[in-house]
Structures are given as C-alpha cells and as structure tokens.
Structure 1
Amino acid sequence: MAKWGKGDPRWIVEERADATNVNNWHWTERDVSSWSSDRLRQLLLEVRVEGPEGACQVTDITKLDGEASINNRKGKLFFFYEWVLKASWLGTSRGLKYRGTVDVSNLSDENDEDDLDISVSLCKDQPSTPLLDLMRRSGVKEVRRILGEYVRQLKSEFSQGMILPTSDGQGPTAPAPAPKNQVKTSKTQITSAPKCSSSPAPCPTGVRIPTCSFNLKETFQTSPDELYRTFINQEFVQVFTRSAAAVDGCRGGRFQLLDGSVSGEFTRLVPDQKIEMRWRFKTWPSEHYATISLALEDRGSETALEMECRGVPAGEEDSTREGWSRFYFQAIKQTFGY
C-alpha cells in the first residue's frame, strides 16, 4: 500500500489498525445546526431598510426551527438544511412606531434564493401604514439577500476540513486555527471574573487608582418596559451596536459587546425601573470596574433615564461619558426611533 503523498490517498484507510476514516472517503456527517442558528440570527438582525415612508429594522427573531448538516461521500459534499423562521420588525414614520412580522417557511437546500416564500405583515393591533409597502418592496429583498448570504457562508465555512487535500496537493485545506485572543460571543463562553471594587481601592495587583464620577440624563420616546428590554436583551443590544454581543439579562448575568471592548455584570435588575451593573472598558486597569446605575421614569409618552456612573479611572471620564452618549443613547434612538 502507498504511503501519504505517494499513490492514491483514498486507500490509506486500509493501512490503519484503528480504521480511522482518513481523508473522509467514507460517509461522514457534521451537524451545523447550532452554528446556523446563531448565524441566521446575527444576519437577520442586520436587516434595515429606509425609504420616503420611513425606516424599518428587524428587532427580534421569534421563531427559528430547523436543522442543518453537511455530509461527505467519496470526496463530494452534500449540504442539507431546512429552516422555518419568524422575525419581528419595528418601523418608524414621522415619529410614530409600527410593529410587524416577517415569515419564511421554506429555507432549505431544495429551494433557490429566488424561490423562498417570504411574507411581511403588520401586527394585528397596528393601523395601516405605508411602511408595510416599504417592507414588502425593500425589506423582502433584503431578507432574501441575507438568507442567500447564510447559504454562501455555510458552504464556504464548512467546505474546509470536510475534504482533505489529495496527494497532489489539490482540494480544500483545513481552516487556520482561531487566534487565542479572539472575542467569544456565546453566553456560555463568558466566564465569571473575580470581582473588584469600582471605588478607589486596591485591585488584585494591590495598586490604588484615582477615580471620578459623573451623571447623564436622557429622554426616550418610548415606554419604560421597551427601554428596559433594549438594554438587557441580547438581540436588541446586537441591533443597536451593530455587532455581535453576549448578554445574559438576569441578576449576576454577564455581558460583552462592541467586539469585546465593553464587558461587565448585571448586579441588580428592577424590571422597567432600574438597571445596575459593574461595567468596564478593556483598556482600563485589569479587573477594575465602574458602577453604573440606570433609573427609568415613566412620563406618559416618554421615558426619562438618569444615569449615575461611579468609579471611572481618572482621565477616562470624557471618553466614557462620550461613549455612553454615542454608542448607547444615540445609537438606541437612531436604531429604534426612540
């Protein structure tokens, strides 16, 4: 029998006492349902369309049922996937907000991108609005494009490694290992870190650092429950930050967003009224956290938010203040029309 690099590599498996499926010549199957579910959510939350009627943004994935797998037989790949999904969208027009849904019932390997059945509708309690036409005209096209992108990424991402290179060096190569400092975005991938007081006290290194405090006030054209949910719901956070995030919206739950630049832990949650957290920026001294308090006040047609921030490292006050104003408050208003 020939050795690797000499002769036909398909026969190498016959030489092995452990009968390992070398080169994946025999039938192999790989379940990629979990990856697909996460990727579909991320892609769909990027859907946003604008027009003379206003703007519409997908805000939540309310249903995502299905599975996906990749099979290899004699050097040929077969992709199997089937998904039924439903998403919620929020439209804003002339200061008014409208809610609706997007349904896709036949995302599968049997249907081309152009054959997908995508329906858009308003929620039952919503009045008629031209935004529905905008979603049917532009929103459906964008959703179709996004789902096509998922299929392309699926085939590109997992073709590597399923078929190993042949003896003449042809064929896909195995993917390069992920860098060790890659940001992890899954909830289960974020581990608890030792707590360190956000006040001017010794951190694990025993070094005291001077800190400062500041307050911010903002008004949002929405209800307290909607604003509260925007800060603690992972999918909402990913929408207004426009990046992957991990947010465990419960007391003691940890969060990481803006490509790992921001991380922390929720220390107290009073639904629709108050959010308290330990919060840090990655460039701060190791394990040093500020204490953030967000108090929500219902004012009928709007919600007043008062932020208290204590324990910010001296010299970081301006950048922290600007960051919260820009990447939290203004981003939320621009994205959701609040």
Structure 2
Amino acid sequence: MAKWGEGDPRWIVEQRADATNVNNWHWTERDASGWSNDKLKELFLAVRVTGEEGSCEVTEVNKLDGEASINNRKGKLIFFYEWDVKLNWTGETSAGVKYKGHVEIPNLSDENDPSEVEIRVSLAKDEPDTRLIELMRRDGVQRLREAIAQYISTLRTEFTQGMILPAANGVSHTAATDVQKKAHTKETQNTKSSTCPNTGVKIPTCKFSMKEMFMTSPEELYRVLTCQELVQGFTHAPAIVAAEKGGKFQLLGGNVSGEFVELESEKRIVMSWRFKTWPAGHHATITLTLSENGGETELQMEARGVPQSEEQHTKDGWKRYYFDGIKQTFGYGAMLL
C-alpha cells in the first residue's frame, strides 16, 4: 500500500471511515429524481409573462414523468435526466377576458440544450382564438427555456455536493468536470466566480447596469421604493419592507427577498438582493442611484454578483416588476434612455 502523497492516488487509503472508496473515485450514483420533481415544479409555476396582448401564467403542473441522476466515475460527473412535462396556463386579455391553455415539453433531456428543447403551446379545447397564444409562444416559451436552464444549472451545482469527496488535505485529486471547464471558457471579462455561502459552490457571476427615467421627483420615487404600502401597490402583491440599514424585505410572494445595506434618502439605495430560484444563500448587490434630470428622475440600477445564467431573467424582472410596474401604477411614464 502506498504512503500518503506517493503512488497512484486511486489506491491511497486515507484515514477516514469510508476509505474503501477514496474520494468516491469508483462509480457512485445519486438519484436526483425527487429533488428534480420539486425544483421543476417550483420553476415552472413561477413563469408569468405580460405584454400588449395581456398576461399569462403557468398555473398547474399536471404531468411530470421521468427521472434524473448524477454519476461519478473516476472523478468525472455524468448527468442524466429525462422528463415528459405537461403544464396548464391561464391568460387574461387587457379587456379582462380569461383563457386557458396547455404546454407540452415531451423530451426535456440531457441530450438537448435548453434552446433546443421542444415546447408546444396550445389553447384548451373549445377556447376561441386569442392573441394570448402569441404571447405564450413568444415570451412564455422564452421564460420556460430560462426555467429549464436554471434547473440544469442548479442540478450541476447544488445537488452535486459530496459526489467528489475532498482528500486528507482538503483538496480533491480530481480535475474540474467537463461542465465546469466549458463554463469557464465562456466567462466574459466582467464575469467572476462567487462562492455561495450555504453550499461552498463557486458559480459564475456577472455585473450589469440599467437606466430608467420617471416623471416624478427623486423624493417621491425614493418613497415608492422604500414604503411598504407603495411597494405592494406597484408589485400588486403583499410585501414586507423594513427600509432601514439591516432591514429585511420580501416581495412577490417571496420570489424576491433580501436586506437593505445602505440608505441615503432621495439619493441612493443599496440592497443585498436575490431571486428565490437562485442557489441557496446567494445574493447579488443592487445599487439604485436617483438623480434629478430636467424635472424628471433618472434611476440608475447597478447589479453585481448576479448568477451568469440569470442575467437576462434578472434584467427582465427589474424591467417588468419594478420599472414598468411603478410607471403603470403611479403614472410616472417617461421616455426610455
């Protein structure tokens, strides 16, 4: 038997109870079916889209058949998942007319990239034709693809903990997985790794900024962003907002949550902010800067530490639920920059 630090690492027996399979070098398998079932339901039921045609949302997962697993063979993680999905959606036109429909995803599997997964959208039987079907086939399908991408990303980060065990000195003998290597090569110059505190997993993150003009004063816009009653008004949902340093907030049924880090009345708001679907414990830093500009207020939003796979979803969420929501509710509409 080789001494520690010498010879082929596959055969080194460490001082540990499970040394018969050091670092899980030999074949190990973990069933991810139950976890995947819950995660996919959570992600699909969060899908909601709004447009000129009206609004639509996924209301029920009425079929989710399949399985998922993760295998480790000689330090390489192999992912397998295959699902047959059927969803129900409801929509409402701007005139208040309601419709029902279905979504079919017959082959959600590891063989296809999220952009290649077949997604069929249809109206329920006997429902008359409506432009809402266009909204679902355009924006709804895009949100569903984002949900699928989030499921795959989370499966490869959160659920893989312990599949490759650390060596005696805390460092695994295994090289990065193919998935990690591919992700690394795709990182842009403004992308860096962030460690998720609850899991110890490093995920690729990014930063971005957005600007929006509001036909109101910085004082009034600051109030809208920090007053619980006004936040409930533009999000059209119950909210918890404790606008003080260290104060917590929770919006949109818990889908958005975080903590106020810094508050400068009428000028600046800094938040530790997250979507519910992000890896557990991971927060981005959101900085809102308000400035008067020709009788209007310019709001500049800067986001740092957003999971790279969530960049577009986060931008869309801020545009829809914050910027557009405030303008439509309080009449602060203005020309976009």
Relative to the length of structure 2, the TM-score reads 0.49
Larger radius of gyration: 1
Relative to the length of structure 1, the TM-score reads 0.49
